[in-house]
Structure 1
Amino acid sequence: MPTTRARKPAATPETPPRKEVGVRRAPRQARSQEKVDRILAAAGREVEEGGLDRLTTNRIAAAAGLSVGTVYDYFPNKESIVGALLDGWLARIFEAVDGAHPRHGTGLDLLSYIRETVERCARLYEEQPGLSVLFAMVPAVPALRDATLAHDEAIFRTHVTALQHYAPHAPLPDVEAISRCIPLMAHDILTAAIVHKQGDRQKLMNYLYVALMAMASRVLIA
């Protein structure tokens, strides 16, 4: 593959748009935010235990220890609650990945950077109940699909600029290809190992690290 002229790393990626999927009233005070957090946490638990079909605003309100009226103050329906749940999780994933970027003075080398981003994301996959249901909703809900696409693009941009920092002379097509592969491979393995609990988790994670390190080595030797 022909090499390209070394390019100056792009500007700091912006946080992907935080689309409030159907939220009726955004919280403006700490007390209101605490209620919204309780609603979302309760929804996550209910989705994990019973799936989307059994989910109702009544069940969410009871699990959150709030009245149904209070839930409706912030969310018009259960779908909007689940949408906000996914939206918040995507934002935390972006913050975790971008937080390992060398622009923050992390002191990590390239291979450590990649491993750190995966480990940060793994913790978030573990902490969020009901992810399989949230993922299944994305293709069917345009707002969720748009938010997910924006998130994916922001993750891609932060990986590109990180790789350009570590390997400024690497061909841009290689950098971009690897920046696409890292989150795709990580998501598939983390979903299988953590969300669906398929196979031996440690083996799957080891396979993931070997594959990602092999790809990263390509830009280091450019």
Structure 2
Amino acid sequence: MIELAVPVHLQLRKQPKQKRTQALIEHIKICTETLVQELGYQAVNTNAIAQLANINVKSLYEFFPNKESILYHIADQWLLSLRKLCVEYESEKYMALDWRSYFFQLHNACRADGNYEKNYNSLQGLWDLMPEFIALDEFHRRFLIDFHIRQFRRFGAHQSDEVLTTLCHFLMGIEDGLGLILAHVSEEQVSQLSQLHFDTICFHLEKILEN
């Protein structure tokens, strides 16, 4: 299972069927992301979102019951895209890669989305907003841990699940810390930091995959 059901009180009030309404929903999300990046999510409200989106707030409420619903769908959509990417990397075309090539391609694919740096910054802090966000984060992290342990095992890791889980937590902690600063450094530094990050991953994977 790669999707977590959206809590009832955060679900869309109605599903957009026409391209026009689908575009409106995406526009609302983009405007929300912009305001969150500028003001922080606590200072953002539905009136400000509607004003930036150049729509009547009633139009916003036709689809989203509250601000938290918009934020939840932004977070859910991004995290789901990462989980789908992981599923893709379990397809047959990647199975012949050696472990360095496999994790290098996966590492780069996660950053290929131009929204990577933006999402890390705009979504930071949401996880303390409501229990529903905490549950989404825990679901996502559990998925990533299970996914990576499967790959570690496939490439020969024989350590216990507990040891491999600890390694996953460590690597995800580095990822989280790095993600917070990517939007504040130059393109050249982003590239350098990304390489250092991958070098760190390889340093630790060598210990479990080449012994």
TM bracket, shorter-chain basis: 0.7 to 0.9
Structure 2 residue aligned with 1:197, among 185, 192, 201? 185
After superposition, the C-alpha distances for 1:7-54 in whole angstroms (9 at most, x for unaligned) are xxxxxxx20414257234241524343322221122112222333244
Cα root mean square deviation, aligned: 2.7
Aligned to 1:163: 152
Indicate yes or no: 2:128 matched with 1:139: yes
1:153 matched to 2:142: yes
**What does 1:38-187 correspond to in 2, within 5 Å?**
38-101=27-90, 103-106=91-94, 107-124=96-113, 126-127=115-116, 129=118, 131-167=120-156, 170-173=158-161, 174-187=163-176
Structure showing the higher helix proportion among its residues: 2
Q: TM-score scaled by structure 2?
A: 0.82
CA pair 123-62 structure 1, distance change in 2 beyond 3 A: farther
Moved over 6 A (4+): none
Pair 184,97 (structure 1): closer, same or farther in 2 beyond 3 Å: farther
1:188–1:18 distance in 2 versus 1, CA, 3 Å: farther
Deviation of 1:151 after TM superposition, in Å, equals 0.5
Contiguous gaps of at least 5 residues in structure 1: 1-13
Answer 1 or 2: higher relative contact order, Cα 8 Å, separation at least 6. Answer: 1
Percent identical across equivalent pairs? Answer: 17
The 2-side partners of 1:115 and 1:196 are apart by: 24
Unaligned runs of 5+ in 2: none
